[in-house]
Chain A
Amino acid sequence: MYKIIARWLAGIVAILAVMSTGMDCKGKYLVPTNIPPITRLSNVPPPDSFIIAKNPLLTLYWVGDDPDGYVVAFRYRWNFRLNAASPFQYKPWSRVLNIIVSKFALMTDADESNITNVYKYFATLPPEGLSPDSANRLDSAKTLIIAGSHVWASNPKIIHFPVHVNPNSGTFIFDSQDSLNPHTFEVSAIDNAGAAGPPATVSFGTPRVSPPHTQITSSPTDTQLVIDRKSSTFQGIEFDFQGFDPNSRTVDYQWVVDRDLWPPDSIPWSPFTPATFARATAANFRDPYAVTHRFYVRARNEFGSIDTIGADTSFYTLYPPFLRPGYQHRILLLNNSYDWGAGGTAAHPSRAMLDAYYRALFDSAGQNGKYDLFDVVDVPNGPHIFPGLGALGQYSVIVFIGDVTGDITDPEWHHSFLGTRENMVHSYLNVGGKLIITAWNFPFPLNAGPEYTRQIGHLEVFRPDQVKGNFIGARGDKGYPDAVVDTAKLDTASWGQGLMSLWPGRPYGFGEIIYRYDARNNSFFENLAIGVRYLGTTFNVVYLGFPLYYIQQPVPTAIVRKALDDIGELNR
């Protein structure tokens, strides 16, 4: 019995001894604390030295190590002061991830508590890397949201001189308002535990740089028609300029019109952009209806220094009266036809006869008293009198009349609508004018030419119908009446029983067919477009590729009414 008790006691003691020993063998040390990462700036002077840089642009390099983990990011900042009397201020921390993904150096607004999660997302991407959509966003300078934080590329393609192209260097422009500007730059590595190590620092001074020099390289010399908005045909009045700064990699510009006419505290300078041109509209003018203006431009270099002198130039504009409030609708009949003189006949009318015909036509179309007639006078080897932009701008509609040519079989004879005349009508249209063209042989290269016919008339032509007397009329569409050539006005000996040298084709762009060619005996041209209307958002054109004068009455009256109706000018 005693032995049994002794054995039991010995056993219990042994168990207690083992337990006691086991308890005693438990570790008494704590889990090792994180060792912060180490950061070093490379190629910098010793910490106790101070250098002065040549300009405010410096590239700094750094590396980071973590003894017990890995570096996920770097954060950096620097200090500056506005002048020698001001206190030092610090820029906010910036953070760049310690990874390059698809060639991007990635910046983030994640703080130390989340930056490891952001890093891990990019570090664990599949072998193919970022999705194309994400890569495109980064390359377009847009942000991604990763683990609840924003991430963007420091070097998207639209930034020519990025701060970072990798996480171990940065090219910075340091604030340099004063003649000498001291800075201390600090950079710290952040490890996978989210701890930032002690910063590596460098101190230096940067000088103030001189501003760029600005020069205007081109500006309009003639008076320009102008409106207060841009459209597909009016992009504004263009000025080109250039800034010069040998110290700066980039120069950007801002401009204003009529600077000295605006209140000094609200001069509407444009935002700074790198564009070396400006396009001004009347919306940029202090008085949109004023004729004389002055354009100012100034440049800024990448250090923020602005050319306080800038460059300026005068220019002249005309806001079309037909676009001003209270304008009374008025039509200009612009007779650009050949003048057969006093011996004019029905087939070869004089200018006066054609004027009389069109007066009667527009009177019958209900426009009595609403039009003026301008005869373009061509004097061989002399001045060509054509209305200027100021005159054209007085009219809401121009009716271009080129119905009569010289000897149509002689290429030297034409009604001459070229060069500056074309350009002036084009400028008139670009700001919202309306045009009706009635002309014979209009696309002939010594008249308007095929390109102008395409751009303005919206009819694409290839070659004229040179078969004698082949054009006998035109079939109307879109509400236009059929037109038949008036045989009483034909020079049948020369032309046959119809007209020739007309240019049918096919509509261009938004042009719509309003007339189709009616040929006597040449099926090639049959039903091709010979009349087109273009109702655009800026300007409207009704192009009649045949001379209205030679069409049997009363159809021309109906055509005029329909054309005016199409362009919204019939009952104004």
Chain B
Amino acid sequence: MKRKNAPFVALFFFPLLVLALNLHCQYDYSSPLPGLVDIRLHTISDSSRIAFSPQNIFVLKITQVSAVRSDLALATVYGDIKAIKRLTGVYNTLDAHAEDSSLVIGQADLPPGDYLGILMLIAPGGTAILDGYRNIRVVTPPGFDPTLQFQRSFKISEQRTTRIVLTINLDSSLVKEAVGYDPDTFLFTPSYYISSVLYE
């Protein structure tokens, strides 16, 4: 009788034992869900100087976008939420979408937390096209630093979207006929900042 009931007893206690072990192995913390960062480009330009027009083109090539966390960890931001790597993005700063802050240049799921700003590696296009036919060479000053540091703290919250608008002021970024440069060139001296952070 005893030998017959022994497996049954063992089988009865085995799940309880596994359950007890599992309960014991539970971590005492849970991993948070990510939040979405959505980075957009906004351009400011005096329309009497360079208008937002399909015939005007000045591109920025963006090769890398990173969010800087408060512990200085860098999180890479790709072109969109489904991207699996960063490709060089070419964005026309005189596009109508850039005028109304709807030109998306980066999206990513990021760990929640406090962030210090955005780093962006860029290269200006070699030529600005005005009125569809005027090709103005764009030059950079010696020692030009292609890393733009947009410094403004923001927060990423679980399952929420943080929309960041990066603004580039073309009126001061594209200097016409700068002293010491060819008169028929634009000197690219980027003037930029984070103009807004929206939490949705």
Stretch at the interface among A296-304, A481-489, A507-515, A564-572: A507-515
Known: A140-B143, A509-B184, A510-B184. A232 touches B179 (CB 8 A): yes
Point out the residue from B136, B147, B178, B180 that lies within 8 Å of A509, measured CB to CB.
B136
Near B by CB (< 8 A), chain A positions 222-240 give 230-233, 235
Cα-based distance from A230 to B185 in the complex (angstroms): 16
Near A by CB (< 8 A), chain B positions 142-200 give 143, 147, 176-185
Residues on the B chain within 8 Å of A510, using CB: 134, 136, 176-177, 184
Q: How far is the CB of A570 from chain B (nearest CB, A)?
A: 19
Residues on the A chain within 8 Å of B178, using CB: 232
Residues on the B chain within 8 Å of A511, using CB: 134
Q: How far is the CB of B73 from chain A (nearest CB, A)?
A: 14
Residues on the A chain within 8 Å of B12, using CB: none
Shortest beta-carbon contacts, A-B, top 10: A509-B184, A232-B177, A232-B183, A537-B177, A230-B179, A233-B183, A507-B134, A232-B179, A536-B177, A510-B184
- Would you call A133 an interface residue if the criterion is a C-beta within 8 Å of the partner chain's C-beta atoms? yes
Known: A232-B178, A538-B183. A133 touches B131 (CB 8 A): no
Cα-based distance from A507 to B132 in the complex (angstroms): 11
- Would you call B133 an interface residue if the criterion is a C-beta within 8 Å of the partner chain's C-beta atoms? yes
Main secondary structure of the interface of B (DSSP, over half): loop
Q: How far is the CB of B62 from chain A (nearest CB, A)?
A: 18
Residues on the B chain within 8 Å of A233, using CB: 177, 183
Q: How many residues of B contact A (CB 8 A)?
A: 17
Q: How many residues of A contact B (CB 8 A)?
A: 19
Near B by CB (< 8 A), chain A positions 108-160 give 133, 140
Residues on the B chain within 8 Å of A537, using CB: 176-177
Cα-based distance from A506 to B147 in the complex (angstroms): 36
Near A by CB (< 8 A), chain B positions 23-58 give none
Q: Mark B106-137, 1 if CB is under 8 A from A, else 0.
A: 00000000000000000000000001011011
Q: Mark A486-517, 1 if CB is under 8 A from B, else 0.
A: 00000000000000000000111111110000
Q: How far is the CB of A529 from chain B (nearest CB, A)?
A: 8
Query: Which residue of chain B has the shortest Cβ distance to A529 in the bound complex?
Result: B133
Cα-based distance from A511 to B133 in the complex (angstroms): 10
Q: How far is the CB of B167 from chain A (nearest CB, A)?
A: 24
Query: Which residue of chain B has the shortest Cβ distance to A231 in the bound complex?
Result: B179
Near B by CB (< 8 A), chain A positions 521-546 give 536-538
Q: How far is the CB of A534 from chain B (nearest CB, A)?
A: 9
Cα-based distance from A232 to B185 in the complex (angstroms): 10
Q: How far is the CB of A267 from chain B (nearest CB, A)?
A: 26
